[in-house]
Amino acid sequence: MLKSCIRARFLWRSLRSVQGWRIESQQMMSTQSIPSPVIGGVAEDKKLGLATHLVLIGALAAVYYATARAGLLFAIPPGNATAIWPPSGIALGGLLLGGLPVTPGIWIGSFLVNTGTGVSSVTAAGIATGNTAAALVAFALCRRFLNLDTPFRHAACGFRLFFIAAVACLLASTLGSGSLAINGYLPEGQFASNWSTWWLGDLAGVMLVSPIFLLYGARYSSQMPTHAFSGAVVSLLVLGVISLAIFGSWLPEELSEGLLYLPSIALFWLLLRFPPIVVFGGNLLIAMIAVHYTSRGSGPFATEIVANSLFELQFFMTVYALMTLALVGVLSSQREAENRESQLAARVKADEEMRKKETELAHVARLATMGELVAGIAHEVNQPLYAIANYAAASENLLASSDVRHPERLCDLNRQISDQAVRAGEIIRRMRGFVEKSGEQRTVFPISDAVNEACCLLEAEARLQMIAVEIDPESPPPVWVRADRIQIEQVLINLIRNAFDAMRETDGDRRVVKLRTAVVETEVQVSVTDGGTGISQASASELFSPFFTTKPDGMGMGLAISRTIVEAHGGRIWASPGNDGGAVFTVALPIQ
């Protein structure tokens, strides 16, 4: 008893731990699937003070200025429109991280850098306004059309960023080139080329730089394990060398043209091996090297007119960036699916493990019940054996007396012997069936079968304890359930035996256990009513807890196991006080 109790305790704990894991993993999955809203940029979550905002504005202006100065090295005359304008990506990134309060940093950085190109303050202000407006529009569109928590979850996300950038950058190029033209800085007939270079330069800047900020905002960058860091650096160096060889004219012209798409192979390698941040970094590296050398007249894009070369290069870079973003999206959606699949597999495994443990637990409980049933059943089997011996002796006497005038009497005795043998066999079959360790087997059967079988198994014990077990004759016609019959019988046996125990001190005529079956809406309810001690208020809330018992020799598992079984079948079990004392335990199961 003690041994099975300890084993049951162990099994129950491991069962609970499996369920706990299941809940944790479900919680994990659900928190992963609910994106947290990033409303005004990452910094807004942290409620920053005015001083911090001023520092952020200053920092954004400084970074904008520095990258713009670098970008202007590749400007076409009069020196404001460039082949690649990283600050457009920096401006959007600043808003994504700092939120709307850092907007002045864009305007200040842009204004300062443009006044440095020799244009008037009014013109610089016009250009700065265009750049700021473009960043604000891009920011608003990103918040509307990209999930900022997982911005590159599928291939379409890259295209969305492309369209967002294309629309927003129209503002910067139109206001920028417009300011230059109105204030007389653009030579005659140069507006269109200046406008398109500006637009494409800004577009390339957003496509190449802002993904890095989007990833930072989504906190993807922390996904790279430290040991992969050195591998990423080496891979980026190799990519840099390949790009230098192609765009820096280290190779003969025909060869460098032929190898133009070699960096894309290196990028694919980065895509497969490292987190997206490394891929976007690699893309930016290729772009910087390509622009640097093309503007100096070398590499596969170099032509007589630098502006034309840079124009072609802009297309090349934008397409490259778009392709990379789309591939990052494809890969991350594939990884997400794989992730989901493995989580699902883990869950299925945990479920299986739980079911296995449930079966084992139920078996332990059945063994414990069996131990107590054996005495009664031994008594029960004894009866048919005794009867067989009597009938056999009677027929022997009949044969010895050579009284052949009554052969039908001999036949009758033989039939009695075989009936009793069948009955003994049936009792043993039931015992074996009940105690056998088998996996769950759900079948469709009338609930009355389980009720009758449970009563039969307890018949001997009831007789020994002088308790009457009554099945309500008004029970409804067969109600079918889909369940593991042995398990449901086990539940009923637990309830009936508890009823016996509760009536140890009960007087003669109240020693009755009543079983009643009723149909209530979509479920069938079997109630076990006794005339015992009833349930005290103190124990009412604990009844179904494992190891709760008020009996000196109790294990406290019967009701806990019964509840596990019933709930696994989609049913319910509860206790209530009886009408004239005693207790009523009810099991409700869905009707098939």
Per CB under 6 A, residues contacting ligand ADP are: 494, 498-499, 502, 530, 532-533, 535, 539, 543, 548-551, 554-560, 583
* Shortest Å distance, C-beta 375 to ligand ADP: 17
Residue 312 or 542: the one with the smaller Cβ distance to ligand ADP is 542
Helices (H), 436-530: 447-464, 485-502
**Of 360, 365, 373, whose CA–CA distance to 438 is shortest?**
360
Find the radius of gyration of the CA atoms of the chain: 42
* Shortest Å distance, C-beta 532 to ligand ADP: 5
Catalogue the E-assigned strands of 159-249.
Answer: none
* Shortest Å distance, C-beta 494 to ligand ADP: 6
Residue sitting closest to ligand ADP (CB): 558
* Shortest Å distance, C-beta 554 to ligand ADP: 3
Tell me how crowded residue 540 is: count the other CB atoms within 10 A of its CB. 12
Q: Residue 414 is encoded by which pair of tokens?
A: 């033989």
Residue 412 or 542: the one with the smaller Cβ distance to ligand ADP is 542
**Of 190, 212, 193, 189, whose CA–CA distance to 201 is shortest?**
193
The amino acid occupying position 396 is E
* Shortest Å distance, C-beta 578 to ligand ADP: 9
Q: Residue 537 is encoded by which pair of tokens?
A: 């208020």
* Shortest Å distance, C-beta 538 to ligand ADP: 10
Residue 110 or 549: the one with the smaller Cβ distance to ligand ADP is 549
The residues, ordered by sequence, that sit 6+ positions from 208 with a Cβ below 8 Å of its Cβ are 84, 86, 89, 280, 283, 284, 287, 317, 321
Residue 429 or 551: the one with the smaller Cβ distance to ligand ADP is 551
Residue 101 or 582: the one with the smaller Cβ distance to ligand ADP is 582
Q: How far is CA 424 from the centre of its chain?
A: 54
Q: What CA–CA distance (Å, rounded) separates 499 from 286? A: 81
Residue 148 or 555: the one with the smaller Cβ distance to ligand ADP is 555
Q: What CA–CA distance (Å, rounded) separates 394 from 526? A: 45
Residue 269 or 574: the one with the smaller Cβ distance to ligand ADP is 574
Residue 187 or 577: the one with the smaller Cβ distance to ligand ADP is 577
Q: Residue 535 is encoded by which pair of tokens?
A: 């349930």
* Shortest Å distance, C-beta 558 to ligand ADP: 3
User: CB–CB of 41/95 below 8 Å?
Assistant: yes
* Shortest Å distance, C-beta 541 to ligand ADP: 11
